[in-house]
């Protein structure tokens, strides 16, 4: 069933509390935690508690939660006092996606190049 926890999913395990993470925010529908391999002073992952493979599948299945992710990205930026930040959803292995549970990277706290590499 779309949205159901997956036994083999690292981020479902973080949601369940079975894998530790540095959680910075939690709502009824989302969890935000620091990336284990940060690429900037702020590098937080915002994820839905439900399991979908990528942002588009989440938006199709549970659009209100997709909106929650974007609101939480702003809340993370506010907490870290970021005026500028980037929100990235890597989608597909060619774009660098390695974890198949929707996650927004919230990146900031340093200058960011555009376009990215």
Show which residues are catalytic. 103
Sheet of 104-108, strand order: 23-26, 30-34, 42-48, 104-108, 85-88
Q: How far apart are CA 65 and CA 31, in angstroms?
A: 11
Contacted entry of Zn ion, ligand 5GP, none for residue 99, CB cut-off 5 to 8 Å set by kind = ligand 5GP
Contacted entry of Zn ion, ligand 5GP, none for residue 12, CB cut-off 5 to 8 Å set by kind = Zn ion
* Per-residue binder mask for Zn ion (CB under 5 A), 28-67, x = binder: -----------------------x----------------
Q: Could you give the 3-state DSSP secondary structure of residue 66?
A: helix
Q: Which residues bind Zn ion (CB under 5 A)?
A: 6, 9, 11-12, 51, 101
């Amino acid at each position: 069933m779309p949205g159901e926890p997956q036994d083999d999913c690292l981020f479902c395990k973080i949601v369940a509390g079975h894998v530790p993470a540095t959680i910075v925010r939690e709502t009824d529908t989302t969890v935000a935690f620091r990336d284990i391999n940060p690429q900037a002073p702020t590098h937080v992952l915002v994820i839905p508690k439900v399991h979908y493979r990528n942002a588009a599948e989440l938006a199709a299945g549970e659009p209100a939660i997709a909106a929650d992710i974007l609101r939480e990205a702003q809340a993370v930026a506010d907490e870290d006092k970021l005026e500028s930040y980037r929100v990235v959803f890597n989608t597909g292995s060619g774009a660098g996606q390695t974890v198949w549970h929707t996650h927004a990277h919230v990146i900031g706290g340093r200058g960011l190049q555009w376009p990215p590499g």
